[in-house]
Chains A and B, each alone.
Chain A
Amino acid sequence: MAMFASAGTIERLVNALAKLPGVGRKTAARLAFHILKMPQQEAVELAEVILEVKEKVGFCAVCNNISETDPCAVCTDPRRRRDVICVVEQAMDVAALEKAEGFVGLFHVLGGRLSPLDGIGPDDLKIKELLDRLRGEVSEIILATNPNVEGEATATYLARLLRPMGVKVTRIARGLPVGSDLEYADSVTLTRALEGRQEY
């Protein structure tokens, strides 16, 4: 961006913002100018909270979820079932499942999925940590990795690893989104939903 040639600081900010997911050069420039026009107080608050989040928020040593405490609030909650662990790819998936309020067990965040194309293998995920947790009272592992090529391969890997250890392994169902219409479902989802039909 030639227009910033004499404005080194602004360009540094634009470059930093452009590294964020979903933000391109144009959006980054718009955000940077917005920050420039902000009241001083707001800008300071934004800068401080970014620093704070990096200082205070870390990872739970047990489940690898993001947390301000270690172990995290879910892992230490006495009301939660400790015999069921739901395995997900990322911390965002935990947030989604928690919002749904339907699951009362514990989580385990892998920190990614198997993807040979990106050079990501089992050693790059928190799998050893998951195995360490099995020594306790765990009776069921729910595999809640994404229903795409990489998520399915990750689930296959974990199932092969866990089954011989005598723990019950389940996979979340694939099917139609609740509250939607059949006519709007994509064809592969419909096919899977038919395959996974249950007696009624």
Chain B
Amino acid sequence: MQVRSVTITSFRNFEALTQQFAPGVNVFFGANGSGKTNLLEAIYALCLGRSQRGVADTVLLRDGAEVYRLAGELTTDSRSTHVAVAYQKGGRRKITIDEVPVRPAELFERFCAVAAGPEDSAILSGAPSQRRLFLDLHLSQHSQTYLKELVAYQRALAQKNAALKGRMDASLFDDQLIDYGSAITLRRAAFVRELREASRPYYRDISQGEAFDMQYSPELETDPECDDIAIIKAAFVEQLERNRDREMYQKTAVVGPHRDDLAISIAGFPARTHGSQGQWRTAAVALKLAIYRMLTDKRRMAPLLVLDEIFAELDDYRTSALISGFSGFEQLFLTTAVEPPEPLRTNATRFKITAGRVERIG
């Protein structure tokens, strides 16, 4: 897919801006703080309705503004669509496709984007919630059913927690937590298996031979390789029963996939505690390359690529390994404070960003 143009109003440090983009490589360069990453964020948010940095809408508002709006022309299979994403302070995000209001999930169904940037290291170094967010975001692009199950699970979970705090009958929501939660556990297990196999060769190639491993560690006490939903459901039922008093006492739901994690190891050691900055960065890039490959196969469309300063810490060898991994893209946006690496310099369209203004240069 491609983003042909974007019109930005009161988003981050942009006041008002309309810009056309080219197929292939689009390079944003400029000084620190000029707004390169903000422009990437606007492009990504136009495709999927959310920031790739996972921040709240209030943060995206230009200083002092009440409303932000992103609009633009997106193409898939050379069919053109007009998309708009708008947010008003205190309200909810409003999304339209060809002037028709749609649910946020519709963008996930229609479009497809992969972002990589410095914040990805948090997948390796951060809290379990960072790894769940990573799984949820990419699994939702893979499977519409997953996204719907996740939304229903989170609603049931919020109701159960409110019931526990308000001394109401929280067990009324358990059947739904079991149904949706078991389905989520099953899909995460299959996705992590696939992601592990897809990311290992990338990590090995980029790192020149280091070992990389990733295991799903579900909160439910089942074998992470288990692919029988009946066994997962039985484990869920049993653990809920065993933790009933604890949930009442803690006034919060403690059983279910909202407490899942991923166990990632690099060169045989747990990544979170033993990994170096460079290893985290390389692993994050390998994961994103794997996601890109899997999404391309699954969706039969080339996802939009949004790359934020990802070459900054990589040597020439790793850089070229990375670029060949992303081969086959239709359109790629990248930011850089320095010159882009050689393979991307030819045929690139370049944009200079200065304090919230964009200028196309050749």
Q: Which residues of A pack against B, CB within 8 Å?
A: 114-117, 119, 121-122, 148-150, 152-154, 156-157, 186-188, 191
Contacts and interface: CB of A to CB of B under 8 A. Distances in A.
B176 A149 contact: yes
Given A116-B165, A149-B152, A188-B149, 16 more contacts: A114-B172, A115-B159, A116-B159, A117-B158, A119-B166, A149-B156, A149-B159, A150-B159, A153-B159, A153-B172, A153-B176, A156-B172, A156-B175, A188-B148, A188-B152, A191-B145
Given A149-B152, A153-B172, A156-B172, A117 B159 contact: yes
A148 B152 CA distance: 8
Main secondary structure of the interface of A (DSSP, over half): helix
Contacts of B165: 116
Nearest to A195: B179
Interface residues of B, number: 22
Contacts, number: 50
B168 A121 contact: yes
A188 B145 CA distance: 6
B191 interface: no
Main secondary structure of the interface of B (DSSP, over half): helix
Contacts of B170: 116
B152 A116 contact: no
Given A149-B176, A152-B176, A117 B162 contact: yes
Interface string B147-191: 011001001101110110110111011011000000000000000
Interface in B267-290: none
A33 B285 CA distance: 59
7 contacts: A114-B172, A116-B162, A148-B152, A152-B175, A152-B176, A153-B156, A153-B176
B152 A187 contact: no
A162 to B, nearest CB: 14
A129 to B, nearest CB: 20
Nearest to A188: B148
B47 to A, nearest CB: 21
Contacts of A150: 159
B149 A116 contact: no
Contact of B173 (A119, A122, A153): A153
